[in-house]
Structure 1
Amino acid sequence: MRSILVLFLLLLIVACQSPQEPVSMQEDVVYLASDSLMGREVGTAGELMAADYIASRFEQLGLQPKGSENYFQDFAFKPSLNPHEEVEAVDTLGDGMVSGRNVVGYRDNGAEYTVVIGAHYDHLGMGGEGSLHRGEPAIHNGADDNASGVALMMNLANRLQEVNTNSNYLFIGFSGEESGLLGSAFYVRNPTIDTKKVRYMINLDMVGRLKDSTVAVNGVGTSSTFKQTLFANNDMGLTISEFESGIGPSDFTSFYLADIPVLSFFTGQHEDYHKPEDDSDKINYAGMELLSDYIMNIITDLDDEGELAFRKTKNESEEVPAFKVGLGVVPDYLFTGEGMRIDGISEDKPAQKAGLQKGDVVKKLGELDVTDMMTYMKALSTFENGQTTVVTIERDGELIEVEVTF
């Protein structure tokens, strides 16, 4: 009963807000990450409730419906039990298939080119494959992943009313991201605007845990304009961890593969990732406001650039070596120093058993130097299950050697 009351009150907030009192990012996150939506898994009632909410927010923000049916674009797919088998979304629901729903809104400024701003809204429901939770099934609310991205998308949609009008703006809430970028891939194959007239795409995925003022930006190499623009507009003291590739584990990949320049923003991994503990009370809302200011600076700078030249980048994921063992740690993907900094420790894994701690920086695995994530993975790929080696870490400025058994 309490969750139903919370849902009613939040929908009432959306209905009653005036244009002078926009819904805050916190209100959006709290609703999307509430237990009432049961983790927003694609193909569930919770996903449809989230889609309805996003559509109502698009309407409130004055966005035109731009789905295949009003604000919605439905797709279908057949789930696979094989994690290495590629799943494809189609437009017809058949036997044994699951339906998903993208939500699409459009701000038409009468411009020649359009900027796409997207964020996935689906999550893991009660857990299942992809969850890092160990124990009884529990609601995975996904406040950071990715209610935060949807809330920031709404914030930008509000801020882009009657400003930066040299572009139109297409806002998309993608579903099926957790099942393999299904919604974004389906949209690119079945667009509701001319994708040849898309200047660039901004993706927002896990943007709610800004720490140490560090933000990762993927796709920096997909247009020659991006790098200068990112650093010229950083007047808020952010540390930018830049990645050239347009290929990565989020929806920007689908647009890059359609030869569209992309920028994807991410505030870092954390111990609550894909666990029930990813709740709205852990979100850094002030950090989201800072990131919104930064992205608005970028959009403003690019507003009179015209068409951006697309550039192919190296697929960094193809260089990742296969490995049979793991330390059982969450890497700090935003770390820009030398080595691989540990951002979290998994229970009952080699790292925990060896006494490694969050904040330790791995410098060597055996005799192999670790200078970044790639050298860490290459070094890890040389070990077999059951092997013991010495791991050299830096802790509080001192080098420590620890024996680890895989």
Structure 2
Amino acid sequence: MRNILFLVFLSILFACKPNINQEERIKEDVTFLASDALEGRQTGTEGEKKAANYISNRFKELGLQPKGTSEFLQAFTFKPKTNPHDEVKFDVNGDGTITGNNVLGFIDNKAENTVIIGAHYDHLGFGGEGSLYRDSIKAVHNGADDNASGVAIMLNLAAKLKTKNKSNNYLFMAFSGEEMGLLGSNYFVKNPTIDTKRVSYMINMDMVGRLKKDSTLAVYGTGTSPIFKQVLKSHNNHFKLIQQESGVGPSDHTSFYLADIPVLHFFTGQHEDYHKPGDDAEKLNYNGMQTISKYIFNVITDLDDNGKLAFRKTKNESEETPRFKVGLGVIPDYLFDGVGMRIDGISEDKPAQKAGLQKGDIVIQLGDSTVTNMMSYMRALSVFEKGDKTKAIVKRGDEEVEKEINF
């Protein structure tokens, strides 16, 4: 009798246990990936392996098929451009190479074409060359926005698409090696595990965790297929969209664009914690991330019955970017669409800080050149060399302030 009562109790207990809502796990995913335990997820470290294992398990939970070369993983090896920092424990192979892993999960709808949805999961570990952190005390760069946020939305989309929009297959990819130069995505494009000639388009999410109060959302690659702008507009009832046509940019969508695949890259903008230890999970806008995920899902739904999208080459702004020998030491606000170049952050002990420039200042003149946007700012900066002095005029509130810059 006791055994019967115990079995009845267990059946009631499990019946009352709530089912996991896979679509509401964004914060949980970010919190794990951006935890100190993963030590910044630098490619080739134990932290990266733990992150890859977590993403693989999430793909299993969601019922995705493995599409790597070893279950969900696709390993790639590379030689670091510089010697790894002593304090970072890379797993270095006998030939001096480091191994990273992409993580790939697949929804097979038996469709003719496939949509790739990706986000990089690696970050800077304890800093290194890409860090903007200037303190001498070693600190983990957790990379909550960059780019646990993108991975979390990717997983959220996988949950949404598992039973919907059956006209395409879906390949979900978590890239490693992005911070070291788009290594993982570049490797996949050259060593694909699916037929890339049947890829309709690719969506990339990198730094999508800090949607601001004005709901500004940048979308890059809008010119890489003729249909993109129309679809983005028709489903937008929330965002202030900043659209850039070029398929080339500093994230993994570039690797696919260069393989003649239409791309869209979503981005909520730079901030003071970019590439610093302060990029932590509690600072993210999770409601904003849910809204972005729903928007991307609606775009995917609209494109579901459009077959393989037409690809279009775009003007490559990076080829026109001037080379410069000096820097002002600021983080530009890439989402600013007004006249000038708005400063979103100031690096310590650099010309801008020494001159008294502030976050929020809008640079409207540098030397003899008028600054109307990022490109004109870079052209103006390119004429200076180390040791030069010039003036900068910035708009600060309703005033115009002139400062002397020493490069």
Q: Could you state the TM-score of these two structures normalised by the residue count of structure 1?
A: 0.91
Partner of 1:389: 390
Structure 1 residue 199 displacement after superposition: 0.5
Give the direction of change, closer, same or farther, for the CA distance of 1:192–1:367 in structure 2 (3 Å limit): same
Separation of aligned partners in 2, 1:328 and 1:350: 6
Separation of aligned partners in 2, 1:297 and 1:94: 48
Structure 1 residue 133 displacement after superposition: 1.1
Q: Secondary structure at the match of 2:282?
A: helix
Separation of aligned partners in 2, 1:21 and 1:291: 16
Separation of aligned partners in 1, 2:332 and 2:381: 13
Superposed CA deviations along residues 244-271 of structure 1, whole A, max 9, x for unmatched, are 1111111101111111000001110111
- Higher Rg: 2
Partner of 2:315: 314
| Maintained 8 Å contact 2:363/2:395 | yes
What does residue range 4-403 of structure 1 map to in structure 2 within 5 Å? 18-20=19-21, 22=23, 24-81=25-82, 95-134=95-134, 135-211=136-212, 212-236=214-238, 238-403=239-404
| Maintained 8 Å contact 2:132/2:347 | no
Tell me how large the CA RMSD over aligned residues is: 1.5
Superposed CA deviations along residues 217-245 of structure 1, whole A, max 9, x for unmatched, are 11111111111111111022x11111111
Stretch of structure 1 that moved more, 365-374 or 350-359: 350-359
| Maintained 8 Å contact 2:22/2:159 | no
| Maintained 8 Å contact 1:17/1:23 | no
Number of equivalenced pairs:
381
| Maintained 8 Å contact 1:214/1:267 | yes
Superposed CA deviations along residues 261-313 of structure 1, whole A, max 9, x for unmatched, are 00001110111111111110111111111111111111111111111110111
Structure 1 residue 81 displacement after superposition: 2.3
Give the direction of change, closer, same or farther, for the CA distance of 1:202–1:17 in structure 2 (3 Å limit): farther
Partner of 1:89: none
Give the direction of change, closer, same or farther, for the CA distance of 1:17–1:200 in structure 2 (3 Å limit): farther
Q: Secondary structure at the match of 2:223?
A: helix
Structure 2 unpaired stretches of 5+: 1-16, 84-92
Superposed CA deviations along residues 330-384 of structure 1, whole A, max 9, x for unmatched, are 1000001111000011112111122211111110012201010000000011112
Structure 1 residue 137 displacement after superposition: 2.2
| Maintained 8 Å contact 2:141/2:279 | yes
Separation of aligned partners in 1, 2:22 and 2:320: 48
Q: Secondary structure at the match of 1:220?
A: coil
Amino acid across the alignment from 1:115: V
Superposed CA deviations along residues 123-158 of structure 1, whole A, max 9, x for unmatched, are 111111111111222111110110000001001111
Amino acid across the alignment from 1:63: L
Q: Secondary structure at the match of 2:40?
A: coil
Give the direction of change, closer, same or farther, for the CA distance of 1:251–1:345 in structure 2 (3 Å limit): same
Give the direction of change, closer, same or farther, for the CA distance of 1:17–1:256 in structure 2 (3 Å limit): farther
Give the direction of change, closer, same or farther, for the CA distance of 1:292–1:272 in structure 2 (3 Å limit): same
Q: Secondary structure at the match of 1:221?
A: coil
Q: Secondary structure at the match of 2:179?
A: helix
Report percent identity of matched pairs. 65
Structure 1 unpaired stretches of 5+: 1-15, 83-92
Structure 1 residue 47 displacement after superposition: 0.5
Amino acid across the alignment from 2:112: E
Q: Secondary structure at the match of 2:308?
A: coil
Separation of aligned partners in 2, 1:392 and 1:147: 38
Q: Secondary structure at the match of 2:305?
A: coil
Partner of 1:7: none
Separation of aligned partners in 2, 1:17 and 1:154: 20
Q: Could you state the TM-score of these two structures normalised by the residue count of structure 2?
A: 0.91
